[in-house]
Structure 1
Amino acid sequence: MDEQIPGRRARLRAQTIAEIKAIALKLMTDGGADAISLRAIAREMAMSGSAIYSYFETRDALITTLINDVYTSLVDQVEAARDACPPDDAAGRILAWGQAVREWALANPEGFRLIYGDPVAGYQAPETGPAPEAAKRACLGLAGLVAAAWPHAENLQSTGDHQWSDFAPTLVATVREAFPDLPPAALALALRVWGRMHGLIALEIYGHLGPQTREPAKLYHAEMLDLAKSLGLKPPK
């Protein structure tokens, strides 16, 4: 009997935390990220203002958890899509990654806004960053896509006079540890690939693309094909 009580308490705590996060995302949907408030969530749950602080000590702690959850779900999806393609299919893996980002963003527009939109007013991320593991996985995933394409990207290998000092030290250390043979220009290319993958998605999520085209999926696919070709790869039709 004694062994069952902690398990039940843990389940109830997990359920309450899940409800708090769900309401936080609802508040964000209705009023943007700045609308997230522990007191507002407590009112929604008929919980005392002091009780909710036993689950999240601060609003920043809640937002950090939300960012981590959102970022991790995105990275899980894009990694699965990439890994469904053979390791030697560099073009296919790039297309799969980009398509998975778009599909995830359309299914989770508020999540996309949370991690790629304007910073949440007043939010202070922890020193390690709000989603260090997920961010590292995303970084290494993009660097890996470029590493596979790099031997084919002869027209891009000398583009720009990039130095390691151009980039954040933590980013450089992460990439160089995993891909010691990549030069600074390859890291610059990885960031450019990231920008091309997210550019049209951001326009679509924020409502700027819809009035301009009835086929945003077709437009995005064409952009990903052109991206792969620009890296010297031959993507499938």
Structure 2
Amino acid sequence: MGDVTQSRRVRLRAEATSEIKAIALKHLAASGPASISLRAIAREMGMSAGAIYSYFASRDDLITVLIADVHTALANLLEAAHRTARSDDPASRMLAHATAYREWAITHPEEFRLVYGDPIPGYLSPTDGAGHEAAHRLCGVLLGVVGSAWPHMDTRRVGVREGWSDFQPGLVALARDSFPELPPAAVGLCLRFWGRMHGLLALEVYGHLSHQVADPAKLYQSDMLEQIAMLGLSVPQEG
């Protein structure tokens, strides 16, 4: 009987935790990151303000968990996209990564804004723990897809030749530990590739392309294909 009671408590706690996170994302979508409040969430759930703090010690703890969840879900999605592309076709893997990233962003705009929007007032991201590890993993996914393409690129076209001193120590350690064969120029290319993806997506998610283009997906794909071609890789054929 004790095990059954304990199992029920665990299940109910998990359900309440999921509901808290879902309501936080709803508030985020309606009013932005600054609207995330444990007390407001407790009121909506019919829970006392004191009770909700048994789930999350502070608003910042909740935000950290939400961000970690976003990073983990996005990393899983991107890794799945890589597996759908031919392993011997690095350009297709890069395009699959970019396409999956856009599909996630436009179908999860609240999560995109949480992670890549304006800083949340008063929130300081932790430098260790599960949230940091999730962000670390997501960065590694991008390093992996660009790293697998690196030997097939015309590296003369990469452009600026960064040195390791140009990057933060955490990124250097990740690159050297996980992809020791990659030079710093490949890491710089990863960041520029991310920037190209992110730039157009931010414009789209925040509604700045709606009056400029009829099909943002077409614009985005054209930009990704152009970047792939500029690296000397064979551009994947449409259809």
TM-score, normalized by length of structure 1?
0.95
Does the CA-based 8 Å contact 1:149-1:232 persist in structure 2? no
Superposed CA deviations along residues 41-75 of structure 1, whole A, max 9, x for unmatched, are 11111111111101101000000011011111111
Does the CA-based 8 Å contact 1:176-1:182 persist in structure 2? yes
Aligned partner of residue 155 in structure 2, secondary structure: coil
**Change beyond 3 A, Cα 1:130–1:197:** farther
Which residue number in structure 1 is paired with residue 154 of structure 2?
153
Which residue number in structure 1 is paired with residue 34 of structure 2?
34
Report the residue type matching 2:32 in the other structure: G
Runs (4+) off by over 4 Å: none
Give the RMSD, CA atoms, in angstroms. Answer: 1.3
Which residue number in structure 2 is paired with residue 13 of structure 1?
13
Aligned-pair distance for 1:161? 4.0
Which residue number in structure 1 is paired with residue 138 of structure 2?
138
* CA–CA separation in structure 2 for the residues paired with 1:30 and 1:20: 15
* CA–CA separation in structure 1 for the residues paired with 2:156 and 2:124: 41
Does the CA-based 8 Å contact 1:149-1:231 persist in structure 2? no
Which residue number in structure 1 is paired with residue 216 of structure 2?
216
Aligned-pair distance for 1:27? 0.8
Aligned-pair distance for 1:131? 2.5
Which residue number in structure 1 is paired with residue 110 of structure 2?
110
Aligned partner of residue 71 in structure 1, secondary structure: helix
Superposed CA deviations along residues 169-201 of structure 1, whole A, max 9, x for unmatched, are 010011011221211111111100111111111
Q: Which runs of 5+ in 2 are unaligned?
A: none
Which residue number in structure 2 is paired with residue 177 of structure 1?
177
Q: How many residues align?
A: 236
**Change beyond 3 A, Cα 1:144–1:127:** closer
Aligned partner of residue 105 in structure 1, secondary structure: helix
Report the residue type matching 2:47 in the other structure: M
Does the CA-based 8 Å contact 1:146-1:186 persist in structure 2? yes
Report percent identity of matched pairs: 54
Q: Which runs of 5+ in 1 are unaligned?
A: none
**Change beyond 3 A, Cα 1:176–1:166:** same
